C-alpha cells in the first residue's frame, strides 16, 4: 500500500489552448491520501469523482500536475505498473470460472504460489460469506453474489498500492448494502490497505470512511472526518450536501458579533471584523441548532410550513419572509401555519464569504 500525493493535479477532456476553468472536469488539486486510510470520494453526479479516481488508477492521464506513490512519480505509469486494484459499479468476473477461480485469478496472474493463493482465497471468501459457493460456477449466481466476487477480486491481493471502488454497491439489493458496507469497513481494518471509495450517497461515505473528500463542480471542496464535515463545513455546498436536512444557508449582513437577517439581529459566537469587501455573505447553521419556540419578543418570527417527523426527531420547515429554514421541533408544539419564534445557538452559526467558511475571532480574544 502507498501514500498518494496529488500535486497540482488537473484534468480536461477537451483539447485546445487557453481553456477556461469550466472546461476542466477536475480543477487543480494538491492533497495527500494517507497510507492505509479509508477514504470516500463523495459528490453529486458529474462533479468529477470518477475522473479523479481514474487519474489515481492510471486509466486517465492528467492534463496537468503529478501523482506520487510513496514519493515516486507514477503520472505516466499504467494501472498495472501502479499496482492498483479496482472494483467497478458492475460485476467484472469470468462466468466460465468457479467462484474460487475468480477470486484466485488476480493472484495467479501475478505468479503467487498455489499454497498462498489457497490461503488468501479462503480468507477473503470467509470475510465475504462466499465459502459455500467457492466450487460453484459464477454464471449461476445472483447479481449480488457476482458483485461480492468482484469485491473479493479487488481485495484478494495484499501487495497493492491501493484499492479503488467506484460506486461498488449500485447493483446490490438495499438490505444487503448495509451489510456489505459494514463488511468493507471491517475488511479495511483487517487488511490495513489504502481504500478510496467513490459514492454520491452520504450514508455510504460516512459509514465507510475515516476521511470523506467532498467534490463539487470539479473541485475538492473539503476533506475531513465525518464529524468535521458536520460541525464545520468549509463550503456551503458541504453544508447542504451532508446532513439530513442539510444546513440552513441564508444571506445576511454580518458586522462584528452580529448577523442581520431580514432586519432581525442574531448574535454570533465569534466576531467577524474583516470580511472581504464585495463578497456574498451568508450565515450557515444546521437545523439541529435552530430551535422552534413559542413566539416571544427578541425571537425571529417564522411561519411553520411543514413538519417532517424522522422518528426520534422532528424538523419544522419554516418561512421568514422569503427565507426558508429547517429547525428542530420540540415535542408537542405547533401546527403547520402557526407563528413561532426561532432560537439560534450562537456558537453553531458559521459565516461564509462567497460560499467559503470564514474563521471568526473567538469572543474572549475580542476586547
Ligand atoms: N470520457 C469523457 N469525455 C468527455 N467528458 C467526460 C468524460 N468523462 C467524464 N466527462 C465529463 O467530466 C465531468 C465529470 O465527470 P465524472 O464522470 O468524473 O463525474 P462523477 O462525479 O464521477 O459523476 P457520475 O457519478 O455521474 O459518474 C462531467 O461533466 C462529464 O460529462
- Ligand 1 centroid–CA 95 distance in Å is 29
Ligand 1 in reach of 13 Cβ (< 6 A): yes
> What would the pLDDT profile of 64-76 be if each residue is shown by its tens digit?
999 999 999 999 9
165-196, pLDDT tens digit by residue? 999 998 888 888 888 888 888 888 887 889 99
Say which residue the cell 459455500 belongs to.
Answer: 132
Q: Scanning the structure block, which residue is given the C-alpha cell 460516512?
A: 206
User: For 113-134, how does the pLDDT look when each residue is reduced to its tens digit (9 = 90+)?
Assistant: 999 999 999 999 998 889 999 9
Quick check: 169 and 204 in contact, CB under 8 A? yes
Return d(Cα 55, Cα 196) in angstroms, integer. 13
Domain ranges of the chain: 4-241, 248-365
Q: Give the model's pLDDT for residue 289.
A: 97
Distance 25 CA to ligand 1 centre (A): 7
Q: Is residue 47 lining ligand 1, measured as CB closer than 6 Å?
A: yes
- The Cβ of residue 243 has, within 10 Å, a number of other Cβ atoms equal to 18
Q: Name residues whose C-beta falls within 8 Å of residue 355's C-beta, 6 or more positions apart in sequence.
A: 235, 236, 237, 280, 282
In whole numbers, what is the pLDDT of the chain averaged over residues?
92
Helix (H) or strand (E) holding 352: strand 350-353
pLDDT in tens, 198-238: 999 998 999 899 999 999 999 999 999 999 999 999 999 99
Q: Considering only CA atoms, which residue is closest to atom 29 of ligand 1?
A: 46
Q: Does any ligand 1 atom lie closer than 6 A to the CB of residue 46?
A: yes
Q: Quick check: CB of 50 below 6 Å from ligand 1?
A: yes
pLDDT at 53: 96
What separation in Å is there between the alpha carbon of 176 and the centre of ligand 1?
A: 28
Distances (CA, A) of 286 to 87, 121, 239: 35, 46, 8
Q: What is the pLDDT of residues 243-290, one digit of tens each?
A: 989 999 999 999 999 999 988 999 999 999 989 999 999 999 999 999
Domain 4-241 in this protein, CATH class: alpha beta
CATH code of the domain made up of 248-365 = 2.40.50.140
Sign of torsion, CA 148 149 155 160?
Answer: negative
Place of cell 472526518: 225
Distance CA 51, CA 125 (A): 31
Residue 182: all three cell numbers together:
459494514
Amino acid at each position: 500500500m502507498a501514500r498518494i500525493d496529488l500535486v497540482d493535479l488537473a484534468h480536461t477532456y477537451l483539447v485546445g489552448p487557453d481553456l477556461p476553468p469550466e472546461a476542466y472536469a477536475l480543477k487543480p488539486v494538491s492533497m495527500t491520501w494517507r497510507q492505509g486510510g479509508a477514504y470516500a470520494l463523495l459528490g453529486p453526479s458529474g462533479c468529477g469523482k470518477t475522473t479523479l479516481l481514474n487519474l489515481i488508477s492510471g486509466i486517465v492521464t492528467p492534463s496537468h500536475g503529478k501523482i506520487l506513490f510513496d514519493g515516486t512519480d507514477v503520472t505516466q505509469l499504467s494501472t498495472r505498473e501502479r499496482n492498483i486494484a479496482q472494483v467497478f459499479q458492475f460485476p467484472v468476473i469470468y462466468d466460465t470460472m468457479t467462484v474460487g477461480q475468480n477470486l484466485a485469478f488476480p493472484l495467479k496472474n501475478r505468479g503467487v504460489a498455489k499454497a498462498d493463493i489457497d490461503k488468501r482465497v479462503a480468507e477473503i471468501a470467509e470475510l465475504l460469506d462466499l465459502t459455500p459457493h467457492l466450487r460453484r460456477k459464477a454464471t449461476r449466481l445472483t447479481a449480488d453474489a457476482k458483485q461480492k466476487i468482484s469485491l473479493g477480486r479487488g481485495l484478494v491481493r495484499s501487495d497493492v498500492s491501493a484499492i479503488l471502488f467506484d460506486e461498488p454497491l449500485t447493483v446490490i439489493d438495499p438490505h444487503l448494502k448495509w451489510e456489505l458496507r459494514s463488511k468493507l469497513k471491517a475488511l479495511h481494518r483487517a487488511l490495513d490497505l489504502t481504500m478510496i471509495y467513490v459514492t454520491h450517497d452520504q450514508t455510504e461515505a460516512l459509514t465507510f470512511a475515516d476521511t470523506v473528500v467532498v467534490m463539487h463542480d470539479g473541485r475538492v471542496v473539503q476533506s475531513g472526518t465525518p464529524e468535521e464535515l458536520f460541525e464545520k463545513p468549509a463550503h456551503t455546498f458541504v453544508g447542504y450536501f451532508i446532513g439530513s436536512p442539510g444546513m440552513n444557508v441564508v444571506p445576511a449582513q454580518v458586522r462584528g458579533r452580529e448577523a442581520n437577517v431580514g432586519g432581525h439581529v442574531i448574535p454570533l459566537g465569534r466576531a467577524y471584523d474583516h470580511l472581504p469587501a464585495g463578497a456574498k455573505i451568508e450565515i450557515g447553521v444546521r437545523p439541529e441548532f435552530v430551535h422552534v419556540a413559542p413566539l416571544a419578543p427578541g425571537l425571529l418570527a417564522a411561519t411553520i410550513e411543514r413538519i417532517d417527523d424522522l422518528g426520534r426527531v422532528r424538523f419544522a420547515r419554516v418561512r421568514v419572509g422569503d427565507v426558508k429554514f429547517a429547525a428542530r421541533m420540540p415535542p408537542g408544539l405547533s401546527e403547520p401555519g402557526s407563528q413561532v419564534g426561532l432560537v439560534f445557538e450562537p456558537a453553531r452559526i458559521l459565516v461564509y464569504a462567497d460560499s467559503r467558511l470564514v474563521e471568526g475571532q473567538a469572543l474572549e480574544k475580542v476586547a
